[in-house]
Amino acid sequence: MTSSATVEVGVGPVSFEDLVAVARDGAAVRLSSDALVAIDQARAVVDKLAEEPTPAYGISTGFGALATRHIPVEMRAQLQRSLVRSHAAGSGPEVEREVVRGLMLLRLSTLATGHTGVRRETAELIAALLSNGITPVVHEYGSLGCSGDLAPLSHCALALMGEGQVRDAAGTLMPAADALAAAGLRPVELVAKEGLALINGTDGMLGMLVLALTDLEMLLRTADIAAAMSVEGQLGTDRVFAPELQAIRPHPGQAASAANLVALLRDSGVVASHRGPDCNRVQDAYSLRCSPQVHGAARDTLAHARTVAGRELASAVDNPVVLPAEGRVESNGNFHGAPVAYVLDFAAIVAADVASISERRTDRFLDKARNHGLPPFLADDPGVDSGHMIAQYTQAAIVSEMKRLAAPASVDSIPSSAMQEDHVSMGWSAARKLRRSVDGLTRVLAVEVLTAARALDLRAPLEPSPATAAVVRLLREHGIEGPGPDRHLSPEIENAVELVRSGAVLAAAQSVIGDLQ
């Protein structure tokens, strides 16, 4: 996808919105004038240190466990080339285009802070690759999330040298040299410090965190819609979502989720039908009654993750780092991915549990003993028809996988680089599994929404709320039929998945009641 928009990268942090625009929408990129000044100032420091006889790590020495060797001037360009080539050692499937574009933008953002020491032409070539839709081929495996996402970033740096494989704007696989030439770009000859500056950052895991949070924040509002449809379709009560009940346990996410449920269920004929004194239901099952508590805790956890991501976006992650005001370069440990890795794992836990409660709400629709008068499995002719029986199996399979993906990656560490790098974050791995979890949650919510919509149709002539009715209409307009004899269900599930993923389900409800919290 391409966009006519252009994102300017300055010395300040990239916003969530700008990252999404570049990574997903194909926005072009340019460096601001203040970023170019900062880059030049840092480069002057590196050039000065490169001329001095005293070894400076990353400028005139080897790297990692080989940092004790002083490299003579005539071999330093070879040092940079060798670093990038040797570290571009990824393996496995290609990483998604949006992930690669996101990590390239974030690396450029760090270069723009003036703390890495690259030349302006090197930084400008990254911006040019992004603007021309040239995406280096990055592989699934190769990052331990410490010393940065070394292998993924090295594959990107390799493309700047005119080496390795890339995909052009049309997605065609080709040698990097050919793609650069076709775009009228020249590869760079890396000089002292540049190779290390291009590969030593948490940009891959951070980019995936920002993209996942963007998706999850939308999906949690969609989860409130799904929950409202389930409460309504299962003749549950909305009284438990009253603001005075939320106020006595003042978690902000819980209050927001409950307020959404109140708004979504407002003016529901289904809910009104059993609100009177004749109702003998004492209280609803946890998966209905406690939806705001679970969805709210998820929201609060993601709010913490967003705070961490914001701090990381405002960081200059490199080692060694250039301090232009002091005219020096210093080693540091800011490349360690622990802060990002932890919240990536937290987010996978959140996704798994929200999916788990969604699957439980769905299952209640299918059990005649618990669905309050609906046919078994919502089938047209139970016994002849199976209804949504196997749709719940699909949910259950996904939820089971998501529970495995919720096992934290950040508690693992495998020493590397001859024990120099003896504790690593595994943040890249945490990010990769979170992407699968986000996809899983999307699918689980889609099955709940289409199941709840079928149940609401079966409650006729009782009328659902205006908000949930809008969601039912959306589904019916996109090839997801109402109750009837069994039919091929998989295409309908995939249609529902896309409606959830695209934000269309959320938009349908919000078109009636305004923006959800």
Q: Which DSSP state fits 378?
A: G
Once rounded to an integer, what is the mean pLDDT over residues 505-514? 98
pLDDT band with cut points at 50, 70 and 90 for residue 278: low
- pLDDT value at position 333? 87
pLDDT band with cut points at 50, 70 and 90 for residue 282: low
DSSP 267-290: T-HHHHTT-STT-------HHHHT
- pLDDT value at position 53? 77
Least confident of 88-92, 123-127, 297-301, 327-331: 327-331
Candidates 2, 221, 218, 138; CA nearest to 431 is 138
Q: Which DSSP state fits 320?
A: S
Domain coordinates in residue numbering, the chain: 6-201, 209-513
Candidates 299, 353, 338; CA nearest to 206 is 338
Task: Judge whether 145 and 120 are in contact, CB under 8 Å.
Answer: no
Task: Judge whether 64 and 150 are in contact, CB under 8 Å.
Answer: no
Q: Which one is predicted more confidently, 64 or 447?
A: 447
pLDDT band with cut points at 50, 70 and 90 for residue 276: low
Indicate the fold that domain 6-201 takes in CATH: Fumarase C; Chain B, domain 1 (1.10.275)
- pLDDT value at position 76? 79
Once rounded to an integer, what is the mean pLDDT over residues 32-58? 88
pLDDT band with cut points at 50, 70 and 90 for residue 281: low
Q: In the CATH scheme, what architecture does the domain 209-513 have? A: Up-down Bundle (1.20)
- pLDDT value at position 56? 74
pLDDT at 382 over 70: yes
Tokens for 366?
């299918």
Q: What are the tens digits of pLDDT across the range 57-105? A: 767 776 665 666 777 777 878 888 899 999 999 999 999 999 999 999 9
First to last CA, the chain: 29
Tell me whether residue 57 is one of the annotated catalytic residues.
yes
Helices 252-265, 504-513: inter-axial angle, 10-degree rounding:
70
Tokens for 240?
């438990």
Q: Rounded to whole angstroms, how far apart are CA atoms 327 and 30? A: 27
Least confident of 76-80, 254-258, 349-353, 473-477: 76-80
Q: Which DSSP state fits 13?
A: P
Once rounded to an integer, what is the mean pLDDT over residues 468-479? 97
Tokens for 111?
């270069």
Number of H helices, E strands in the chain: 20, 9
Query: Which sign does the torsion angle of CA 358, 360, 361, 365 carry?
Result: positive
**382 pairs with which residues across the strands?**
385
Mean pLDDT of the chain: 93
pLDDT band with cut points at 50, 70 and 90 for residue 274: confident
- pLDDT value at position 146? 83
Q: Rounded to whole angstroms, how far apart are CA atoms 42 and 59? A: 13
Share of the chain above pLDDT 90, in %: 81
Q: Give the chain's radius of gyration (CA, Å).
A: 26
Once rounded to an integer, what is the mean pLDDT over residues 499-513? 98
Q: Rounded to whole angstroms, how far apart are CA atoms 130 and 33? A: 18
Coil, helix or strand at residue 143: coil
pLDDT at 383 over 60: yes
Once rounded to an integer, what is the mean pLDDT over residues 273-286? 75
Once rounded to an integer, what is the mean pLDDT over residues 281-306? 94
User: Rounded to 5 degrees, what angle do the CA atoms 126, 127, 133 make?
Assistant: 90
DSSP 24-84: TT--EEEE-HHHHHHHHHHHHHHHHHHHSSS--TTTSB--GGGTTSBPPGGGHHHHHHHHH
Q: Which one is predicted more confidently, 419 or 476?
A: 476
Neighbouring residues of 193: CB distance < 8 A, sequence distance ≥ 6: 46, 50, 58, 59, 80, 116, 117, 118, 329
- pLDDT value at position 65? 58
Once rounded to an integer, what is the mean pLDDT over residues 103-109? 97
- pLDDT value at position 51? 81
pLDDT at 244 over 70: yes
Q: Rounded to whole angstroms, how far apart are CA atoms 56 and 41? A: 18
Q: Parallel, antiparallel, or unpaired for β 135-136 and 165-167?
A: antiparallel
- pLDDT value at position 67? 66
Once rounded to an integer, what is the mean pLDDT over residues 358-381? 95
CA distances to 103, 181, 233, 279 from 367, in Å: 47, 63, 13, 21
The count of other CB atoms within 10 Å of the CB of residue 93 is 8
Coil, helix or strand at residue 403: helix
Q: Rounded to whole angstroms, how far apart are CA atoms 237 and 475? A: 25
Least confident of 121-130, 350-359, 417-426: 417-426
Candidates 201, 169, 9; CA nearest to 87 is 201
- pLDDT value at position 1? 57
Q: Rounded to whole angstroms, how far apart are CA atoms 490 and 394? A: 10
Q: What are the tens digits of pLDDT across the range 196-217? A: 899 988 999 999 999 999 999 9
pLDDT band with cut points at 50, 70 and 90 for residue 280: low
- pLDDT value at position 378? 94
- pLDDT value at position 499? 98
- pLDDT value at position 49? 84
Q: Rounded to whole angstroms, how far apart are CA atoms 235 and 374? A: 11
Q: Which of 57, 286, 342, 393 is catalytic?
A: 57
Q: Which one is predicted more confidently, 33 or 275?
A: 33
Element spanning 157, H or E: helix 150-160
Element spanning 149, H or E: none
- pLDDT value at position 344? 98
